[in-house]
Amino acid sequence: MKKKTLGIIGGVGPLATMFIGEMIVRRTKATKDQEHLHTIIDNDTNIPDRTAFILDQTKENPVPVIIDDARKLATIGANIIAIPCNTAHTFYDEIAEGSPVPVLHMIRETAKRAYNLGAKRVGILATTGTLTSRMYQSALEEYGLTPVVPDEQIKEKVMSIIYDFVKAGKDVSSEEWQPIEEAMLALNCDRIVLGCTELSIVNRDLKLNDKYIDSLIVLAECAILSCGYELVD
């Protein structure tokens, strides 16, 4: 398979963008620089907030900016696009139609991972925008899995973790995270999707257990394989 160049539409958020770049390097089977992916990262922090637009469509639409970024990346050599933002995948069809090169679908890939792991009841931790769009619920149901959405209190707690902590550059403690995990386990989830790439930063820092499926890691691994490279053993 001919090696392909990966374009990453980043800035959604900036820390998650840097983290997926690191994970792609760490998860690629390589012994020298020349065996790694050629990756072009556009850390576009001007992309409007995705959740804000989903909840109130009088807000600025992020889709035209994302499509412009995809076209720009393709122009400078990207063969495949990855967007490390689950909420942006609410607009996947429109983005994919506007992109001159294929766009990976992290939500479908994450649902597929849950299925391959033998999950039955899958908890979804994500932004209100992602949950409102039902992208994860639909993707999991397509694999015959039962999606489990947290109650309003936990949804608000997750949004606070995402916006008040990770996006604000603040660390999340185990004490902050514990009520979220306990609530999802009380709902009899056998797997829990980290359906926001800011939560991947929490996973990195707190080293969460193997019940969690990290959508950012899934996207990183999918990008590596899609570009014709191998994963580390």
Show which residues are catalytic. Answer: 85, 196
DSSP string, the chain: -----EEEEE-SSHHHHHHHHHHHHHHB--SSGGGS--EEEEE-TTSPPHHHHHH-TTSPPSHHHHHHHHHHHHHTT-SEEE---TGGGGGHHHHHHH-SS-B--HHHHHHHHHHHTT-SEEEEE--HHHHHHTHHHHHHHHTT-EEE---HHHHHHHHHIIIIIITTT----HHHHHHHHHHHHHTT-SEEEE-SHHHHHHHHHHT--TTEEEHHHHHHHHHHHHTT--B--
